């Protein structure tokens, strides 16, 4: 088994453990996550960096930078309170900018993204949900509401860009990348709803957040690796 494959298997195992811990209401489970969660993206990043298929990928570097931003967000969101949430969103936002930079350089230039069906669907979903979550957050902290409104718009733009890649790239790479962007959007939608709209929701909903998030990062990494073929 190649080293990159072993690392992806390790990432999958870490993701499964962290997902289970995230859904536990027990204090010890949260403490263990200070070990499991920070290991996720360094392991996935090492797998991508060592994947021979990714050596010529036009999305490799931006994906690795995006994973670094996500790693910072993962650590910050282990903390509590509005400041840590805002800082985590900022770190993830830097990661989304990196993803978006790669997607824009290798976008489908034949069709403006404003005319793409998927992009318009994502924009419509954001318009009906993003401001609602931001308004709910603003009731706790006005600045946090603004941060989350900007963050959600950036995430939606990243997901739209992930679904609008150059048809010259391998089809499986485009499909995996688009699926990763959509799953990332799903994960953050669940997180936003649980945190600000459904504060009494059961803790196990956090497992849904982590399962979709870790799945999204894996799909984006695999899409980047396959874009190099």
Structural domain for 180, as ranges: 3-226
Average pLDDT per consecutive 10 residues, the chain (229 residues; last block may be shorter): 89 98 94 97 96 91 97 93 89 97 94 90 92 91 90 96 95 97 95 88 92 98 91
Q: Domain total for the chain?
A: 1
For residue 1, the model assigns a pLDDT of 56
For residue 55, the model assigns a pLDDT of 86
For residue 174, the model assigns a pLDDT of 96
8 Å CB contact between 69 and 94? yes
Q: Which residues of 193-202 are buried (b: 16+ CB within 10 A; e: fewer)?
A: bbbbeeeeee
Task: Name the pTM for this structure.
Answer: 0.95
CA nearest to 62, candidates 224, 229, 226: 224
For residue 229, the model assigns a pLDDT of 67
Task: Name the β-bridge partners of 165.
Answer: 107
């Amino acid at each position: 088994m190649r080293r990159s494959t072993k690392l992806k298997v390790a990432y999958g195992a870490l993701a499964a453990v962290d997902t289970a811990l995230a859904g536990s209401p027990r204090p010890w489970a949260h403490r263990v996550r200070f070990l499991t969660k920070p290991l996720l993206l360094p392991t996935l990043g090492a797998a991508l960096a060592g994947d021979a298929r990714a050596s010529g990928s036009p999305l490799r570097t931006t994906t690795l930078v995006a994973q670094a931003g996500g790693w910072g967000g993962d650590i910050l969101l282990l903390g509590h309170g509005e400041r840590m949430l805002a800082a985590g969103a900022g770190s993830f936002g830097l990661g989304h900018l990196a993803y978006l930079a790669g997607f824009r350089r290798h976008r489908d230039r034949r069709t403006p993204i404003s005319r793409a069906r998927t992009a318009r669907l994502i924009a419509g979903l954001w318009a009906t949900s993003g401001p609602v979550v931001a308004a709910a957050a603003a009731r706790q902290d006005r600045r946090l509401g603004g941060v989350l409104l900007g963050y959600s718009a950036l995430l939606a733009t990243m997901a739209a860009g992930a679904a609008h890649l150059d048809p010259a790239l391998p089809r499986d790479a485009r499909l995996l990348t688009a699926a990763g962007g959509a799953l990332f959007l799903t994960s953050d939608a669940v997180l936003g709803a649980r945190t600000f709209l459904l504060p009494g929701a059961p803790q196990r909903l956090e497992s849904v957040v982590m399962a979709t998030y870790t799945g999204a990062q894996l799909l984006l990494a695999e899409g980047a690796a396959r874009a190099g073929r």
